[in-house]
Structure 1
Amino acid sequence: MTRTRLKAALAALSVLVASVACSAATAVRSDGLPATLRVGVIPNISPETQRAQYEPFRKYLAERLKTEVELFVATNYAGVVTALAAKKLDVAYLGGLTYVQAEAQTKVVPLVTEVDQETGTPEYLSAVVTKADASFRSTKDVVAAGAKFAFGDVSSTSGSLYPRIMLADAGARCQVRDLTSCAPLSAVTFTGGHDATAQAVLSGSADAGGIELRILHRLEKQGSVPQGALRVVETRKVMGYPWVAGPDLGQGARAAIVKAFTEISDPRLLDLMRAKRYAAVSATHYNEVRERAADLGLLTAP
C-alpha cells in the first residue's frame, strides 16, 4: 500500500471510530432517555467527598430509569457550567447562581429542587459566621471592623452571592469589576468551598465567612468543625439547588427524571440528599438570584 493510500485509510478509520464513539455517546432510547445518562454535580464540598457521597444516588437513578448513569463532579462550580454548555452533560445539580450563569450560556431547564430538611421548604439558609469568641454580633459589626472575609466558590449561591448581599446591605461597598474589593473589609478571599471557608474562619485566616448553614451543621455532626466553635451572625433564605436538564434532553426524558426525584421514598437516600422530598421548579423561582447576581457582578461565570 502506498503512503498516500495508507494515510487515506487511517484517516477514514479515524472518522469511523469518532463517528461510532459519538453515536454511542448520544444514543437515545425509544422513551427519550439517553442510553447513558450523564449527570454533573457541583462540588459544594471537596470533589472527592462529593463523588463518594452521591454514589447511592447514582445507583438509585440508574435502577429507577433503567439506564446507565455516569456521575461527573467538576473541580469547581464553573466546570459544571462549562460541561453543560459543551453538551457533555444531560442533567446537572447546580446552585441557583450556577444555574443562572449556565442559562446565560446554553439552554437549560430547571426540573426539581429539594424540600430542605431544616427549613421544611424549598428554601435553605446562607449564613455569615465568625468564631464563637469573636466580638462580632452582626454583619454590620464585621463590616465596621474592616474584617477579613472568606467566600467559598465565586459561583456559590450561599457561599458567595448571598453573603455578598448581606455585606452590601450592611454597608460594604463591594465592587462589580473586582470581586476581591469590598471596602471597608481589609481582605476578601475565595476558599473554593464551604468546608474550606469554615476552616478559614476557625484558623483565624479569615475573621468571618459566608457558608451554607446546613453544610455547617453537617460539618459539626461529622466533627470537622467543633460544635459551637462558629457563631452565626446573620442568615438569608435561598431558593434551593435546582437539578436542571441540558439542552438536548427531551420533554419525555425530563418528565421521567422529575418523577424519579419526586417519588424518592427511601429515608436514607433523602437524608443523603438533605431533602424531605423533592418539588418541581421553574425558571421564575430563581428571579431574585438572577437579579441580585446581575447587580453584584456575578451573573457571568468566571
Structure 2
Amino acid sequence: MRFITATALAALLTTPALADGWKDDYQVLKFGILSGENEKDRLMRNEPLRAYLEEALGVEVEIFTAGNYDGVIQAIAANQIEIARLGSSSYAAAYTATDGGVVPTLTTLKKDGTTGYYSIVVSRCDSGITSLADAKGKVHAFADPDSTSGYAVPYFNMVTKEGFKPEDYFGTVTFGGSHEADVTGVVNGTFDTAATYQNNDADGVYQRMEDKGMIEEGVVCKIWESPEITSGPWTFRKNLPEALIEDVTVAIEGFPAADPEGFKLYSSFTEEDPNPDTGFKRVDTERYQWIVDMRAWIKAHRRSSS
C-alpha cells in the first residue's frame, strides 16, 4: 500500500530538489524498525513515512522488520539495510557490532522540547505487587536483550541503584521477546512483573495496548520508573555516502510538516497525551556514549558474576 496526503504532496512541490549524486548506486533504500509491537501495527504506523520518503527522495523505500531487535542490528551490520530506527541500547549494540560503523542523526523531539522517555516495571493491579520489594522471588520478564528500556536501563538500575542482581532477586528471570509480549504476559499471569516503557503516564506501551483494545483498561499498573532515557536515534551505516545520509536526514526532518496526519500515525499521537512528539532533533555519537558504556558494564558484570 502506498499513499501520501495532499498536504505532503504540496510540501514536496515547494521543497528544493535533493542532491542526486548517490542515487545511481542506491536506487532502493531499506530502513529497519524494531519489534516493539506486532508486525502489522509496525508496518501500518511507518507506512506514511515510507511513502513520504519515497516521494521526497525519488528512490524506492522499503521497510525491513525482524522478529527481534538483533535481527535489525545484524541487518545493518551486514550491510543489508541502510538505515534503522533504533532504541538507545540497540544503537549501542549496532555501534559495538560494527566497531563504530554507524552514525546517529536524529531523535524524537517532544512538545516541551525534551527528547526522553522512561523504563518502567509493571504488574497486574490486582496482584498485590506495588513495588520491586513486593516482586522479590516472583517471575520477572525483560523485553529483549537489546532493548534500552526493556532490559539495559532497568537491569543497570536494579544493580547500581536498587541494590540487587535480578537473577538472584527474582524467582525467575526471562525475556518476553517484545514490549507487547511483556505486557501480555503480565495480563495473562505468565509473568508477575515485566519491564517496558512509557513517555508519560498517558502514553506508553500498555496505554497504547489499552487504546487498541488489546488489553482491558485498569488491569496493568506501574510499580517502578527509571530516570529519563534519551530517545533512540535514526541510525545510518557509516559507509554510506555523506550526501545520502544528509539528504535522508533532511527528508525525515521535513516529514511532520509535509504530512501532519501521517506523522500523527507514525508517532502514535493521541489527544490525551499532554506532551506529544512534534518532530526531530539532531544528535551525534557523543549523545549515546553513556549507553555504549552501560552495555559494556552490563556485559562485564554478567561475565564476572557467572
Does TM, normalized by the shorter one, top 0.5? Answer: yes
State the one-letter code of the partner of 2:213. G
Distance 1:151 1:298, change over 3 A: farther
TM-score normalised by structure 2 residue count: 0.80
Distance 1:139 1:287, change over 3 A: farther
Please give the alpha-carbon distance, in whole angstroms, between the structure 2 residues aligned to 1:42 and 1:299.
26
List alignment gaps of at least 5 residues for structure 1: 1-28, 175-181
Which segment is superposed worse, 213-222 or 89-98? 213-222
Asked if structure 2 preserves the Cα contact closer than 8 Å seen for 1:139 and 1:167, the reply is no
Please give the alpha-carbon distance, in whole angstroms, between the structure 2 residues aligned to 1:151 and 1:80.
19
State the one-letter code of the partner of 2:57. L
Please give the alpha-carbon distance, in whole angstroms, between the structure 2 residues aligned to 1:269 and 1:247.
28
Which secondary structure state, in structure 2, belongs to the residue aligned with residue 277 of structure 1? strand
Aligned to 2:58: 66
List alignment gaps of at least 5 residues for structure 2: 1-18, 199-203, 268-276
Give the deviation of 1:299 after TM superposition.
11
Q: Tell me the alpha carbon deviations over residues 33-79 of structure 1, each in whole angstroms, 9 at most, x when there is no partner.
A: 42111211111112343123322211011111121101110111111
State the one-letter code of the partner of 1:202. V
Please give the alpha-carbon distance, in whole angstroms, between the structure 2 residues aligned to 1:240 and 1:159.
13
Q: Tell me the alpha carbon deviations over residues 154-185 of structure 1, each in whole angstroms, 9 at most, x when there is no partner.
A: 211111112213432323224xxxxxxx1121
Equivalent in 235, 242, 253 of residue 244 of structure 1 = 235
Please give the alpha-carbon distance, in whole angstroms, between the structure 2 residues aligned to 1:196 and 1:202.
10
Aligned to 1:18: none
Please give the alpha-carbon distance, in whole angstroms, between the structure 2 residues aligned to 1:38 and 1:30.
17
Aligned to 2:121: 128
Aligned to 2:218: 228
Aligned to 1:56: 48
Distance 1:287 1:248, change over 3 A: closer
After superposition, where does 1:187-266 map in structure 2 within 5 Å? 187-213=172-198, 214-236=204-226, 237-264=228-255, 265=257, 266=259
Root mean square deviation, CA, Å: 2.1
After superposition, where does 1:160-171 map in structure 2 within 5 Å? 160-168=151-159, 169-171=161-163
Equivalent in 41, 45, 53 of residue 37 of structure 2 = 45
After superposition, where does 1:102-113 map in structure 2 within 5 Å? 102-106=94-98, 107-113=101-107
Asked if structure 2 preserves the Cα contact closer than 8 Å seen for 1:172 and 1:185, the reply is no
Distance 1:51 1:292, change over 3 A: same
Identity %: 28
Which secondary structure state, in structure 1, belongs to the residue aligned with residue 97 of structure 2? coil
Please give the alpha-carbon distance, in whole angstroms, between the structure 1 residues aligned to 2:290 and 2:120.
17
Which secondary structure state, in structure 2, belongs to the residue aligned with residue 254 of structure 1? helix
Please give the alpha-carbon distance, in whole angstroms, between the structure 1 residues aligned to 2:164 and 2:22.
49
Aligned to 2:284: 282
Distance 1:277 1:127, change over 3 A: same
State the one-letter code of the partner of 1:191. G
Aligned length: 262
Give the deviation of 1:211 after TM superposition.
0.7
Largest Rg, 1 or 2: 1
Which secondary structure state, in structure 2, belongs to the residue aligned with residue 69 of structure 1? strand
